Amino acid sequence: MSICPFPQTTGSVTLNSPSYSILPPLPSMVEATNLLTRIAVGDRTALSRLYDLYSRMIYAIAWKSLNSVEDCEEVVLEVFTQIWKIADRFDIDKGSAEQWIFTLARSRILDKLRKLQRLKKVNDAIASGKEIEFPTISVDPIEAVEIVEQRQQILAALSQIPPAQRQVIELAYYQGLTHVEIAARTGLSLGTVKTRLRLGLSKLKMVIDRGSS
């Protein structure tokens, strides 16, 4: 089943609109269950309806933890993309449809928090690196040469992949941008950013493997 594009708006209210915090009436459990059943067989209209019912609530829950419009939007997108892919795994005997949806949302929010924490640690390490002095005696000359060679190998490999794919890799791994931030900066869709990043990394690995063989 391919990923279904679903609306980024609900009526006239956009995800990043101030009025997005106004939650819709709670949907019935029966309706949510029926919608998941329809989504499981590829009903895009059912996904759109489920999005209308739950996207604002998921956004509001994500906001409490992330406090970022872009990160909350990405969580909402990821939750409904996952619902589209795995709706057939929903089992009413193990819990309600709403519980299942919010469990997916909680998982995506935790993943986002972990990613942000990792990025913060990297940025903190980079920021404080200038103040750290490593004793010269502790540096293994052979290891230092190997690190330089690996860096040169990666830079050389990057020059051999398509510019469009190289661009998103550099933005993601050298500037630490999220997929949403890369899409905003380049004007590309989020799906295109993810596709180019995946293809670029695959080609980068192939170039490096070929060069070391």
Q: pLDDT, tens digit, for every residue of 164-192?
A: 888 888 888 767 788 888 888 889 898 88
Tell how far CA 52 is from the center of its chain: 21
Q: What is the pTM of this model?
A: 0.50
Model pLDDT for residues 93-147, shown as the tens digit of each residue: 888 898 899 999 999 999 888 888 877 765 565 455 444 343 343 444 444 445 4
- pLDDT of 151: 62
Chain centre to alpha carbon of residue 28: 30
Q: Provide the token pair at 191.
A: 């799906």
| Per-residue model confidence as pLDDT tens digits over 79-97 | 999 999 999 999 988 888 9
Report whether pLDDT(73) > 80: yes
Instruction: Name which residue leads in pLDDT, 72 or 121.
Output: 72
Confidence of residue 34 (pLDDT cuts 50, 70, 90): very high
> In a 10 Å sphere around its CB, with 0-12 CB exposed, 13-18 middle and 19+ buried, how is residue 108 labelled?
buried
Longest dimension (CA), the chain: 69
Q: How far is CA 97 from CA 16, 29, 50, 66, 86, in A?
A: 26, 7, 11, 24, 13
- In this prediction, residue 14 has a pLDDT band, given cuts at 50, 70 and 90, of very low
Share of the chain above pLDDT 70, in %: 69
Asked if 76 and 62 count as a contact pair (C-beta separation under 8 A), the reply is: yes
* CB distance 116 to 126 below 8 Å: no
Confidence of residue 27 (pLDDT cuts 50, 70, 90): low
Asked if residue 35 lies in contact with residue 68, where contact means CB atoms within 8 angstroms, the answer is: no
- Kindly give the residue spans of alpha helices, DSSP state H, lying in 67-173: 69-86, 97-129, 141-158, 163-173
